[in-house]
Amino acid sequence: MKTVLIVGGGAAGMAAAITAAGQTPDIRVILLERLDRVGKKLLATGNGRCNLTNLNAGTAHYHSAVPGEAEAILRGMEPAEALRFFEELGLRWTREDEGRIYPYCMQASMVLDVLLAALEERGIEVVCAAPVNSIRREGEKFIVEAGRRFAADAVILCAGGRAAPKLGSDGSGYGLAKALGHTCTPLYPALTALCCDMRASGGLKGIRAPAEVSLFAGETCLGARRGEVQFTEYGLSGIAVMDLSLLMPQGKNRPCFAELDLFPAEEEASLLRELRARRGRFAAQPLERFLLGTVQKRLGFALMKQAGFGALSRRCGTLTDRELSALARLFKHWRFSVSGVQGYEQAQVAAGGVPLSEIDEKTMESKLCKGLYLAGEILDMTGDCGGYNLHWAWCSGIRAGRAAGKARKA
């Protein structure tokens, strides 16, 4: 009987185990998880709703050191494959805005329950509280040390990255991969908040606003995203900001800043005309009234302070054209100095990892160690927010499980 052992009980690991077990009846599948139960990180995805995949999944939403390799390995990993996998397990799903796919019941716990039921139905041996200390080849077998010794004909390494270590990703998988001959690109926390200088915009903690956010290194725009921005005591957050964190330069580079466009659908000139009209309409009113009805109240106060308007008791009619121009400029180009990103504890994923060039794009098998397969976050493939990273986990796990389950004994 062939034995396939999976290291890591996250999304990729469970998908790999379930798929491998369905390839032939003459197979033993073992799933090792370092925590006391599998799927802990899955429960936290999508704010507890589990954004399963995205109908827009494609190369435009993924980042890797070598984009050409990312395109090749993503070929054939359409959203339909992930959805078919879950439909066969009995999970209903629903579509929301921007192609996001969620379980119909909107519960990440239900997704995990379906996966656990599938593991049990297929007779997969799930061993928890079993951190893997080493993997080595001995003849035609892999010997895996995880509190006790396991022997396997094939190993699928789905140990995750370094993000959210409390949920199981401690980075140990990179060392296991290196011990078997692999390398690792530089790692950094991704899909996390930007740490900014917020001294000039105090009092905005908890405020959310729609905006277009651009990230600059010097005067070079690295990228822009639209969405809801959240102001915090340490910087800027929200989906648009977290996507841009993937583009944050690593190491010592030019000074970086984030620029907010609070009215991306309007020109600065038209905003200035509106501000002049408001000055006339509310001439006898205090500045407290000036931006009422345009942006959130505290946000408006912060903008006026930044534009140098002075005391809020001042009358709107006293505003000068120069002051209104400064405010219109801020509406479109509100800049925040960026010192870096939040760390692995807060990050959704770790960018970087085992290079895709070291993996067979059709099977996920290592080109350096026959019988070893890799899937999920341990590889140098990072998706944007919106279900793209879970899509990668499911599909890479399915591909690895299919190949490992079919392959002959080493």
- Residue whose C-alpha is closest to residue 355's, from 160, 136, 64, 77: 64
Q: Is the pLDDT of residue 2 over 70?
A: yes
Domain-embedded: residue 32: yes
Instruction: Please tell me whether residues 259 and 274 are part of one structural domain.
Output: no
Q: How many other CB atoms are there within 10 angstroms of residue 179's CB atom?
A: 12
C-alpha–C-alpha distance, residues 289 and 293, integer Å:
9
In angstroms, what CA-CA distances link 10 with 28, 45, 158, 378? 19, 12, 7, 12
Domain-embedded: residue 253: yes
- Distance between alpha carbon 311 and the CA centroid of its chain, in Å? 42
Paired tokens of 94: 């629903």
What CATH number is attached to the domain comprising 27?
3.50.50.60
Instruction: Please tell me whether residues 171 and 226 are part of one structural domain.
Output: no
Instruction: Please tell me whether residues 151 and 242 are part of one structural domain.
Output: no
Mean pLDDT over 340-344 rounds to 94
Instruction: Please tell me whether residues 148 and 251 are part of one structural domain.
Output: no
What CATH number is attached to the domain comprising 278?
1.10.8
Residue 265: its pLDDT value, please? 96
Domain-embedded: residue 260: yes
Q: Is the pLDDT of residue 195 over 80?
A: yes
The count of residues in the chain is 410
Instruction: Please tell me whether residues 370 and 280 are part of one structural domain.
Output: no
What CATH number is attached to the domain comprising 258?
2.40.30.10
Mean pLDDT of the chain, nearest integer: 95
Instruction: Please tell me whether residues 99 and 173 are part of one structural domain.
Output: yes
Q: Is the pLDDT of residue 409 over 70?
A: no
Q: Is the pLDDT of residue 36 over 90?
A: yes
Residue 73: its pLDDT value, please? 94
Q: How many CA atoms lie within 13 A of 269 on its CB side?
A: 0
Q: Give the model confidence (pLDDT) of 102-160 as tens digits.
A: 999 999 999 999 999 999 999 999 999 999 999 999 999 999 999 999 999 999 999 99
Percent of the chain residues topping a pLDDT of 70: 99
Instruction: Please tell me whether residues 241 and 298 are part of one structural domain.
Output: no
Domain-embedded: residue 55: yes
C-alpha–C-alpha distance, residues 358 and 291, integer Å:
56
User: Contact 212/225 with Cβ under 8 angstroms?
Assistant: yes
Q: Is the pLDDT of residue 410 over 60?
A: no
Which residues 6+ apart lie within 8 Å of 326 measured at CB?
307, 308
- Residue 393: strand, helix, or coil: helix
Would you give the end-to-end CA distance of the chain in angstroms?
12
Of the residues 298, 321, 341, which one is the last residue of a structural domain? 341
Q: Is the pLDDT of residue 230 over 70?
A: yes
- Residue whose C-alpha is closest to residue 101's, from 89, 111, 109: 111
CA angle 238, 242, 244 (to 5 degrees): 125
Q: Which of 160-169, 171-180, 289-298 has the lowest mean pLDDT?
A: 160-169
Instruction: Please tell me whether residues 65 and 172 are part of one structural domain.
Output: yes
Domain-embedded: residue 347: no
Q: With cut-offs at 50, 70 and 90, classify the pLDDT of residue 53.
A: very high
One-letter amino acid of 70: A
Instruction: Please tell me whether residues 207 and 151 are part of one structural domain.
Output: no
Q: With cut-offs at 50, 70 and 90, classify the pLDDT of residue 64.
A: very high
Residue 106: its pLDDT value, please? 96
Of the residues 298, 322, 341, which one is the last residue of a structural domain? 341
Residue 84: its pLDDT value, please? 97
C-alpha–C-alpha distance, residues 229 and 277, integer Å:
28
Residue 249: its pLDDT value, please? 87
Of the residues 341, 365, 383, which one is the last residue of a structural domain? 341
C-alpha–C-alpha distance, residues 118 and 104, integer Å:
18
User: Contact 396/376 with Cβ under 8 angstroms?
Assistant: yes
- Residue whose C-alpha is closest to residue 159's, from 137, 139, 133, 141: 133
Instruction: Please tell me whether residues 35 and 154 are part of one structural domain.
Output: yes
Q: State how many domains the chain has.
A: 3
Q: Where is pLDDT greater, at 15 or 97?
A: 15
Question: 383-403 burial string, b = 16+ CB within 10 Å, else e?
Answer: bbbbbbbbbbbbbbbbbbbbb
Domain-embedded: residue 81: yes
Instruction: Please tell me whether residues 170 and 199 are part of one structural domain.
Output: no
Q: Which domain holds residue 273?
A: 268-332
Residue 68: its pLDDT value, please? 86
Q: Give the model confidence (pLDDT) of 70-93 as tens digits.
A: 999 999 999 999 999 999 999 999
- Residue whose C-alpha is closest to residue 258's, from 232, 306, 225: 225
Q: Give the model confidence (pLDDT) of 242-272 as tens digits.
A: 999 999 987 767 799 999 999 999 999 999 9
Domain-embedded: residue 241: yes
Residue 203: its pLDDT value, please? 82
Domain-embedded: residue 346: no
Residue 24: its pLDDT value, please? 85
Instruction: Please tell me whether residues 134 and 7 are part of one structural domain.
Output: yes
Q: Is the pLDDT of residue 408 over 70?
A: no
Q: Which of 64-68, 152-156, 186-190, 390-394 has the lowest mean pLDDT?
A: 64-68
C-alpha–C-alpha distance, residues 21 and 25, integer Å:
8
In angstroms, what CA-CA distances link 376 with 16, 89, 379, 381? 10, 20, 6, 8
Percent of the chain residues topping a pLDDT of 90: 90
